Amino acid sequence: MLAYVGRRLLLAVPVLLGILIATFLLARAIPGEPCRAMLGERATAEACAAFERNKGLDRPVPVQLGIYIGDVLKGDFGNSIRFSRPVSQILIERLPMTIELSMTALFIALLVGIPLGIVAAMRHNSAVDVGTMMFANVGVSMPVFWLGLLLAYFFGLVLRNTWFALPPSGRLSPGMISVPFYEKWGWGLSDGTFPHTVMEFIGNHFIFNAFITGNWELFGNAIQHLILPAVALSTIPMAIIARMTRSSLLDTLGRDYIRTARAKGAIERRVVVRHALRNAMLPVVTIVGLQMGALLSGAVLTETVFGLAGAGTMLFEAITARDFPIIQGFTVIIATGYVVINLIVDLSYAYLDPRIRLE
Partner 1 sequence: MDRLRRSDRLTVPDAKHLLDRPTGLWRGALRRLLRRKTGVIGLSIIGTLVLIAVLAPLLAPYDPNQVLIGQDGVSRRSPPCVHLFGCEPEIRQHALGLDGNARDQFSRIIYGTRVSLSVGLTTVLFAFSIGATLGAIAGFWGGWTDNIIMRIMDVVLGFPSLLLAIAIVSALGPGLRNTMLAIAIVSIPAYARVMRASVLSIKELDFVSASRALGASKLRILWSRVVPNALTPLVVIGTLGIATAILDAAAFGFLGLGAQEPTAEWGAMLARERAQVFSSPHLVFFPGLAIMITVLGFNLLGDGLRDALDPSLSE
Cβ(291)–Cβ(283) below 8 Å:
no
* Residue number with CB closer to partner 1 (88 or 156): 156
Dist CA 245 CA 121 (whole Å): 8
- Shortest reach from residue 299's CB to partner 1, in Å: 9
Query: Residue 86 pairs with which residues in a beta bridge?
Result: 79
For partner 1, which is the closer residue by CB, 319 or 345?
Answer: 319
Least distance between partner 1 and beta carbon 102 (Å): 11
Q: Which residues bind partner 1 (CB under 8 A)?
A: 14-16, 18-19, 22, 26-27, 29-31, 137-138, 140-147, 149-150, 152-153, 156-157, 293-294, 296-298, 300-301, 304-305, 315-316, 319-320, 322, 327, 331, 334-335, 338-339
Of the two residues 209 and 245, which places its CB atom closer to partner 1 in the complex? 245
Provide the minimum distance between the beta carbon of 292 and partner 1 in the complex, in angstroms, as a whole number: 8
Which secondary structure element, helix H or strand E, spans residue 164, and what is its range? none
User: 136 or 207: whose CB is closer to partner 1?
Assistant: 136
* Residues 243, 236: Cα–Cα separation, whole Å: 11
How near is the Cβ of 262 to partner 1 at its closest, in Å?
20
Residues 207/83, Cβ–Cβ less than 8 Å: no
Residue 86 is given by DSSP the state B
To partner 1, the closest distance from the beta carbon of 159 in angstroms equals 13
By beta-carbon proximity to partner 1, the closer residue of 88 and 304 is 304
CB closer to partner 1 out of 144 and 271: 144
The Cα 152–Cα 275 span in angstroms is 42
**Shortest spacing between CB 268 and partner 1, in angstroms:** 21
Nearest to partner 1 of 189, 227 (CB atom): 227
Residues near 240 by beta carbon (within 8 Å), at least 6 away in sequence: 113, 136, 139, 140, 287, 291
Which burial class, exposed, middle or buried, applies to 299 when counting CB atoms under 10 A from its CB (0-12, 13-18, 19+)? buried
Give me the numbers of helices (H) and strands (E) for the chain, helices first please.
Answer: 16, 0
Find the shortest distance in angstroms from Cβ 182 to partner 1: 31
Measured in degrees and rounded to the nearest 5, phi and psi for residue 161 equal -105, 20
